[in-house]
Chains A and B, each alone.
Chain A
Amino acid sequence: MELFSGAFSGAFSFDVISRTIFGVFLGITVGAIPGLSGDMAIALLLPFVYKVAPNAALGMLVGIYKGSMFGGSISAISFGIPGTAAAAATVEDGYKAKMNGHPKQALLTALFSSVTGDVLSDIVLIFLAIPMASIAIQFGPVEFFALYVFALMLISLLTQGKMNKGLAAAIIGLIIGAVGMDPMLGTPRFNFGILALRGGIYLIPLLVGIFAISELIIQFSKDWHSVVRKKMDDINQQAAFLEYDPKKDKMSIGIFLSTLKATMIGAGVGTFIGALPGAGSSLAAYMSYGLSKRLSKHPEKYGHGSLEGIAAPEAGNNATCGATFIPLFAFGIPGSGIAAVFGAAMIMLGVTPGPTMLSENRLIIYTLFITLIYANFINLGLSRLLLPLYAKISMIKTRYLVPMVFALALLGTYASRNSIVDIWVLLAAGILGVILRKNNFPLGPLVLGYIIGPRAERSLRQALLISNGDWLILFRSSIAIVLYISALVFVALMYIFYKKEGKKDLC
């Protein structure tokens, strides 16, 4: 009882609420601007979490995450340009709905279904994380190694249609994670005689470089705004010929209820996909769209401005928000790039994600659970109020953004350890990120490989020490066997799904 009252008073303290509101505002803003994303914003703010109390810091990061997931749909619907990758599926029907004279209905449908999916996913997280953590606490090195293999396989193989590149990215992440010292013996490796690399590649410059700097380089490379402006001119011209009747663009409970089935489908799919390591919100969005279309009474309307076609992917991508934390909280394995960044923030705040986290940091975690729920309602209220403003913010020019965001990234990274080596790592990671993205490599598996690699190696070598070098120990645990088989089953199911949906080139 004391724990709950402590968690409630912590979650509803002025500091936490104000930071959460700020985080939601920042998240929606960042998500609405094509070229920026929530994980980039969270990565940029990582060096600053030291300055804030843990509950407030987590509230702010949660707010950014949730806000950015909805924010991406604002420019997707308004301009046909997804603000984030997860909003790409919303463009199909969202932009058409706007051109059909229903921009308000489209945006509000996206908002309501996003919040609904998010709330349901958070509830699943709250009820699943604790029982799963209690199972995980019984894991030994063999089980943890099997879990890491399971996670890495899923992470690599669930990247849409780019299986071998996902695997390559994960392996590159594993190699980067091996830089520094052997986790068992402390032998330096891959440091090439550079003293500063003995401690390994630090997480913050790598994350900020991979996510933020690479994106800045891409945005700098292409004067995207001229393309957007050109589209805006087209839109303005088209709008001049359209007869927009505000009376026909009102949102009502009846309209929301008509999209409820699609919303629930998205919420269910998104929660399931979000809990799988590596699957990601854009996969959830597309799968939700596909399933909702199949089960709809009017599938022919999809792709022509159907509100169901907006509700399903929006609920799907937002429903990954809570579920993506399930493997992180229960097992300490980040299930996505954004969960990895969250995990890094939690470590910096003195909370180590994993099975013992829920018993050692109960107050913080329960406060976080409450914050996760009410952040959705802050998102709802703020978005409802500021939608017209956000549509304008999403037009901010690259030439203003690049210097500000780069300064934030550079100085924030330097501030975390006062190390010049981190700046070189930041720039190198940015260039690496650009090269990978230019060649269609996903970035999530690289980050997850980097984080999981040292842990997997430690678990494996502990297991081999226990068995005196007998590799068969890896297959003597029934939990480990179940995990290996589950990974193969998931891969097979995804392969069949892609074949059926006509998505080619899985390998």
Chain B
Amino acid sequence: MSTNKNITQDRIVGLVLIILSISGLLYTIFSSSWGSNVGMGAKALPQIYFTLLFLTGISIFLKKRSDEQQNEEINSVIIQSVIIFTFLGVFYFIAILVIGLVIATILYSIIIYCLLTVKPLKNWKIILISVSLGTLIIWGLFSKIIRITLPQPLIF
């Protein structure tokens, strides 16, 4: 069954693709740093790609019916959750470099657990055990078995 929401969403997607393709095309046309055009040139295929993207964008924009069904999981994704997850990911990586793999993994695991649990402190023993176990596995795997080279941390 068609839904207005799906059609509106598709229109926005189509519009974004059209804008991106026009921007890309203009960039390839006016960019002077891609060297001389020997034979077909470095710009030709990217320009073809952006032209095709423009056409598909129009096709999506003009679609009259949308029978696509989204599952509940995908519907639950909102920009706030994406930002939080990304921010935490960046925090985790920087923490590894600065304060070390073990502490960073413990901190990250605790934060995620607290964010995904209604009453996190209710089961603080479970948190402690699961976080410690998980961190031990990660630390053992990367530091001892695979032996990746990480910058020297402050702690370990």
Contacts and interface: CB of A to CB of B under 8 A. Distances in A.
A261 to B, nearest CB: 31
Interface in B10-47: 10, 13, 17, 24, 31, 33-35, 38-40, 42-43, 45-46
Contacts of B34: 182, 187-189
A242 interface: no
B85 A217 contact: yes
A217 B148 contact: no
Nearest to B116: A399
A48 B77 contact: no
A35 B74 CA distance: 11
Contacts of B148: 411, 414-415, 418
B132 to A, nearest CB: 12
A443 to B, nearest CB: 12
B134 interface: yes
Interface string B50-82: 101100110110010111101011101110011
A138 interface: no
A218 B73 contact: yes
Given A161-B67, A437-B74, A439-B13, A175 B56 contact: no
Contact of B86 (A189, A399, A431): A431
B89 A410 contact: yes
A427 interface: yes
A400 to B, nearest CB: 6
A172 interface: yes
Contacts of A184: 39-40, 42
A48 B146 contact: yes
B76 to A, nearest CB: 3
A175 B46 CA distance: 7
A222 B73 contact: yes
B21 to A, nearest CB: 9
Nearest to A463: B40
B108 A438 contact: no
A222 B76 contact: yes
B105 A221 contact: no
Contact of A175 (B53, B96, B142): B53
Interface stretch (A127-135, A270-278, A401-409, A488-496): A401-409
Contacts of B116: 220, 223, 397-399, 402
Interface string B131-144: 10010011001100
A217 B131 CA distance: 20
Contacts of B113: 399-400, 403
A416 to B, nearest CB: 9
B142 A440 contact: no
B89 A168 contact: no
A187 B42 contact: yes
A397 B127 CA distance: 12
Interface in A211-243: 213, 216-224, 227
A221 B34 CA distance: 41
A320 to B, nearest CB: 22
Nearest to A403: B109
Interface in A370-400: 397-400
Contact of B78 (A188, A219, A221): A221
B4 interface: no
A457 B45 contact: yes
A405 to B, nearest CB: 10
A430 B85 CA distance: 10
A268 B105 CA distance: 47
12 contacts: A165-B60, A168-B53, A175-B53, A184-B42, A218-B74, A221-B77, A400-B130, A404-B138, A407-B105, A411-B148, A434-B77, A457-B45
Interface of B: 9-10, 13, 17, 24, 31, 33-35, 38-40, 42-43, 45-46, 49-50, 52-53, 56-57, 59-60, 63, 65-68, 70, 72-74, 76-78, 81-82, 85-86, 89-90, 92-93, 96, 101, 105, 108-109, 112-113, 115-117, 130-131, 134, 137-138, 141-142, 146, 148-150
3 nearest interchain CB pairs?
A222-B76, A182-B42, A187-B35
Given A48-B146, A403-B112, 18 more contacts: A168-B60, A175-B46, A182-B34, A184-B39, A185-B35, A187-B35, A213-B89, A217-B86, A220-B81, A221-B77, A400-B134, A403-B105, A410-B92, A427-B89, A434-B82, A460-B40, A464-B40, A505-B63
